Chain A
Amino acid sequence: MTNLIPWRKKEKAGDLANIQNEINRLFNTYLSHWFDTDDLLESAWSPAIDVKESKDDVVIVADIPGVNKEDIEVSVHGDILTIKGEKKQETQEKGKDFIHTERFYGSFSKSISLPCETDISKADTNYKDGVLKIVLPKKEEAKTKQIQIKVR
């Protein structure tokens, strides 16, 4: 006679989900102090950037939605331009639950190298509709001079 085995409803991918839960539990309870996850997440996002150049200036455009103008910092060291800032979460009202989150919050930083020397003192920055636009005029000596070459 066979032994009676309690019947369990088979769930699709149940085992996999269990393993994942176990791993999550392990990380959450035992290993959480090993990693400072805040540090890891800090560099998780950086704004998408376009860089355009004309003969007089270099234009940098960055998508940084939902940031206070005061929280954005632009600096130039040599030919490296850095955009830093912090994306703060909208103040959450009491009694509201998140049912879905995709957006990133926290500090971010992005550096790009500029194609030529620019005059930072004449830089013009502007933030509108979540887009940061920086216009950096080129230094006189960096502007390409047209040289006539005689073809013989």
Chain B
Amino acid sequence: MNNLNLQDIYESPAADIHESEKDICMFLEMPGIAKENINVEFGQDELTISGKKSATEECCGQHHILFKERGAGNYYRKFKLNVNIDKDKTEADYKDGILKITMPKSEELKSKKIEIK
């Protein structure tokens, strides 16, 4: 069996998703990671969020661990998008360990009222 390295373990960040007429807003809990190490990518119809802690962030130095509950701080999660998203206007923002992704819906998808003749 291969040695399981803590650095190779990925956690699935907890997420809240809100939807309005204009956009879809996601909040993901990804504490303890540098902004530069977070990746948000669109696939064909999916959104991939990943983040990896750099080795220096978890440096122990002279310390030895007495108690450990926190994960290695590597995150990975994929969402299937069943709504058309304006990928160019999508914004992401990271503050206090929360990644916020605001995805505006494409123009043609915003609810349209259909006239009945």
Q: Which of A17-25, A27-35, A52-60 contacts B (4 or more CB under 8 A)?
A: A52-60
Query: Is A61 in contact with B16, judged by CB distance below 8 angstroms?
Result: no
Contact between chains at A130 and B67 (CB < 8 Å): no
The number of residues on chain B lying at the interface, defined by a beta carbon within 8 Å of a beta carbon of chain A, is 34
The total of Cβ contacts below 8 Å across the A-B interface reads: 106
Interface residues of A in 46-79 (CB under 8 A from B): 48-55, 59, 61-68
Q: How far is it, in angstroms, between the C-alpha of A48 and the C-alpha of B67 when the chains are bound?
A: 10
Task: Check: A2 CB closer than 8 A to any chain B CB.
Answer: no
Question: In the bound complex, how far is the Cα of B63 from the Cα of A63, in angstroms?
Answer: 19
A99 located at the interface, meaning its Cβ lies under 8 Å from any Cβ of chain B in the complex: yes
**Do A96 and B20 form a contact, CB below 8 Å, given A65-B97, A103-B27?**
yes
Q: How far apart are the CA atoms of A68 and B67 in the complex, in Å? A: 26
Stretch at the interface among B41-49, B68-76, B84-92, B107-115: B68-76
Range of interface residues on A (Cβ < 8 Å) = 35 or more
Contact flag A54-B61 (CB < 8 Å), given A61-B70, A131-B97: yes
Give chain B nearest CB distance to A51 CB in angstroms.
Answer: 4
Question: Closest A-chain residue to B14, C-beta based?
Answer: A102
Q: Which residues of B contact A (CB under 8 A)?
A: 14-21, 24-25, 27, 29-34, 60-71, 94, 96-98, 100
